[in-house]
A and B are shown apart, each in its own frame.
Chain A
Amino acid sequence: MEAASLPAALELVAGGGVGLSPEKRAVLGASLLLLQRDYRFERVWFWGCIQGVRGAYYIAEGLGPDRAAPRSRLYSLNCVEWSLLLPVTKEMAARAEQLTGRFQGDPSFEYEYTEINAEDAERLFEDGKEPVIKEEARLIATIEQIDRAVGIIPRGAFVKTPLGSVHENRNFEGLSLTEAKKLSSYFHFTEPVNLKNKTLLEKADLDPSTDFLDSLEHDIPQGSWTVQLEKGGTVVVLRSLLWLGLTFYHVPMTKQYGYVYFGTGEKNLDLPFML
């Protein structure tokens, strides 16, 4: 969610029961602005909080002029001092996917590999690396996974210019109430995967400036999003069931929208059994 609209946005996603304490809210208002100054971001998003066993990580993202470019991510243990996270690499992501269980809350904690193939172990020993992975790397990989899988925006909120860069759409006035209840009005804010697989008939209806991303309609498994109207029907709240804790809100017919993650940073692999 936008740093500028943080207080109002937190009120709207509070239906899940987890949020920020007044102390954190107060300090974020100031520290996110300072982040914008120091790193020269154009926009700063408060991404959310990953709850570890002994402590929590607060994550912020900074966006440059092209909103679809890879975002810089920062984490903090107390919302006051922020550290930049390295961009994710494929190896990091592959190794982190094998880890299960809660985050510990300490960025230098090292996970030991318990299940690892003999081949992988040999390969690692040859490279000279030890088969341990730091929690920081796991954090980076998890945030990237969550953003890629369930980071969403309403349709029409961003436009793609002919040069390829993506900007906010100044003419976006919000989705109507009927549109807001449909999953097809929301897009994943990441590289599209299914766009090429659409039939020609479908592609003819698309508007290349606004429909350049995958919509939520065809997410697997079906039903992995809950759409609810909260606060007496004035806010549309989408919650992801694949990554429990990801909440997206939008007030229909206004420009207010955003998503935030308050959770433990674990994928819900039991989803098919639970639906």
Chain B
Amino acid sequence: AYEHGPYQPHEPGYGLYQPGYSPYDDQIPDPKSRMLAIQNAKAYLLKSSTTSGLNLYDHLANMLTKILDEQPTNAVDIIENISKDMKWAQFEKKMDTLRDEHKILPTFEAAENRKALFLKTNGEGDEELEEEIEETPLPNVMETAYYFEQAGIGLSKDESYHIFLALKKLVSVQPIQTCRFWGKILGLEMNYIIAEVQYHEGEEEEETEEEVIEEGEKGMAEVEDEDEEKEKDEPPKSTYKPQPVIPKEENGTGANKYVYFVCNEPGKPWVKLPPVTPAQIVCARKIKKFFTGRLDAPVVSFPPFPGNEANYLRAQIARISAGTQISPIGFYQLAEEERDDEEEQGGDTYEENPDFQPLSVAEMVASLSTWVHRRQSILKQGRCVWLNPFQNSEEEEENEEEETVEDPDELQQETGPPILTPLSEDEGIQNIPAWTAQPSTNLIPQYAVAILQSNRWPGAYAFASGMKFDNIYFGWGHKYSPENHTPALPPPVQAEYPSVPEITETRDPTLEEELAFKAASEEALDAAEEEEEEEDVEDDEEEEDD
């Protein structure tokens, strides 16, 4: 009400209303009633709210105190938020008889795991320390990480160090001869950190092999033989012969040359992946699925994958390794015995070349023929070394052999490029070369590192610098294909039974045919009777002669 009070000469309302006749005359207070008005206003502000118990006077006082204490910039813009925060703060119970239990966040547990990596195990004296320093299969993860970092590839330094320590733990627990950080595969719920390992000779545990399905095939053969002997009233047996199961390669050779350990995070225990079978590789080529991060998760796909996620992971690791593990030319050479061997299937043993002269980075980047594959490629069959699955037929019955003589001709021996072939022979995809080569920096060529990225398996990288080189994989675990993935169609419905005369329905004869048949048979009957009569007559004549 004071705003409209007595207008001063400089204010616009001055002189509009005659004193005593302005509409606000009754509101102009005298000093005593001004004090009364102030008290009324204050009493109104002190009135507690019926819903929240707060009163506006205290609230405003608190707010202004806070603003004057903290002096935020542009306080007028955030005044509503300050007000809201003050009201929230009212509801915090400061004095409570019950003490809140400290929240155990899941992050604490994870931190505990990681801390455990840094603790030294008990009983490590100085002697053991010396042993460790001399010969350890543990790779220098930080050094490799440094080289890859020059190209922008790699995990954060923290994570690399944790992986380093986790590998150290693995090496101390298992009898390992060589160990390498293979890479990281991302998944939906969790990721996989993968280590490639070779055991000491003879140290590997024998695993219980799964029952091979070859028994089923032999069973089929026996049943078929019986069928031919039995009555033909039985419904015909199925002639379905399942594809012969191609046995997996021995541990230590071919696709199973290395053993792989995975863990979800450094600090969690390492799990060994089972060896890979050719059927799994063949199926993995046809499907494309994300990894969930749990090794026991089922892989739901068509064609149905024979195994769970651990097997699928192992199959993809095998394919990626076979396609992208490379080394500079000349670093490795074939072992002595293999060089004289004329067999097409070269062995997969190689050794370091003591006379290796590293090429300059510029040369390594300029042409792909300076790099070679150092893993055997996997054939269509799913193995690195081709195996004829019908070689066992000599043991089975002769019938089986005769029936399957045709098949070996269809299954031609598969050959792949021998080990240590240069990358320039790799096929590109459409118009993209299989590999992209770049130096890590153009500004300082003296210390640049040669970096190769695979375009067929996005995420596979390799570096070379002087005598050092390594490969690594960071990605989702899938091959690159420019076309969209088309899942395999289900096979055509199998014919139920072969058409064999015994079960084929014959056509019923028509009326004309029946009449014709009848006429023909009557003629034949008459002819037969006449002949009989003639014979009788002849016999009689003969008898008469005597």
Contacts and interface: CB of A to CB of B under 8 A. Distances in A.
A274 B312 CA distance: 13
B319 interface: no
B158 A233 contact: no
Interface string B87-130: 00000000000000000011100110110000000000000000
Contacts, number: 108
Given A101-B430, A228-B189, A239-B186, A15 B156 contact: yes
A6 B466 CA distance: 32
Contacts of B475: 17
Contact of B107 (A19, A22, A233, A275): A233
A233 B149 contact: no
A10 to B, nearest CB: 8
Contacts of B159: 14-15, 231
Nearest to B484: A269
Contacts of B484: 269-270
Nearest to A17: B474
B289 interface: yes
Interface string B253-287: 00000000000010000000000000000000000
Interface string B430-467: 10110010001111000000000101001100000000
Contacts of B151: 21
A240 to B, nearest CB: 12
Contact of B110 (A21, A23, A232, A264): A232
Majority SS of interface residues in chain B?
A: loop
Contacts of A64: none
Interface string A182-200: 0000000000000000000
Nearest to B150: A21
Nearest to B428: A53
Interface string B412-439: 0000000000000000001011001000
B288 A22 contact: no
Contact of A270 (B113, B149, B288): B288
B107 A15 contact: no
Contacts of B191: 15, 228
Contacts of B152: 18-21, 24
Size category of the A interface is: 35 or more
A16 interface: yes
Interface in A1-30: 11-12, 14-24
B323 interface: no
A211 to B, nearest CB: 16
A54 B436 contact: yes
Contact of A275 (B106, B290, B455): B290
A100 B482 contact: yes
A14 B114 contact: no
B433 A53 contact: yes
B463 to A, nearest CB: 12
B81 interface: yes
Given A17-B475, A21-B441, A53-B455, A11 B289 contact: no
A241 B290 contact: yes
B188 A22 contact: no
A14 B107 contact: no
Contacts of B289: 273-275
A275 B443 CA distance: 43
B485 interface: yes
A234 interface: yes
B76 interface: no
B436 to A, nearest CB: 6
B303 interface: no
B105 A233 contact: yes
A107 interface: no
A33 B453 CA distance: 31
Contacts of B155: 14-15, 17
Contact of A244 (B106, B188, B436, B476): B476
Contacts of B458: 264
A232 B486 CA distance: 38
Contacts of B436: 53-54
A272 to B, nearest CB: 10
A246 B288 CA distance: 20
Nearest to A27: B443
Contacts of A149: none
B487 interface: yes
A11 B288 contact: no
A19 B186 contact: no
A15 B159 CA distance: 8
B154 interface: yes
A28 B157 CA distance: 20
A16 B78 contact: no
B47 to A, nearest CB: 29
A78 B156 CA distance: 23
B373 interface: no
Contacts of A131: none
B184 interface: yes
Interface in A255-275: 264, 269-270, 273-275
A226 interface: yes
Contacts of A264: 458
A170 interface: yes
A237 to B, nearest CB: 10
B153 interface: yes
Contacts of B290: 241, 274-275
B459 A17 contact: yes
20 contacts: A14-B159, A16-B186, A17-B153, A17-B184, A17-B474, A19-B152, A21-B151, A22-B150, A23-B150, A100-B482, A101-B432, A102-B432, A228-B191, A232-B114, A233-B105, A233-B107, A241-B290, A270-B485, A273-B288, A274-B289
Given A17-B474, A269-B484, 7 more contacts: A15-B191, A101-B430, A101-B432, A177-B105, A223-B188, A232-B110, A274-B289
Interface of B: 78, 81, 105-107, 110-111, 113-114, 149-159, 183-184, 186-191, 265, 288-290, 430, 432-433, 436, 440-443, 453, 455, 458-459, 474-476, 478, 482, 484-485, 487
Closest 5 CB pairs of A and B: A17-B474, A233-B107, A14-B156, A232-B110, A21-B152
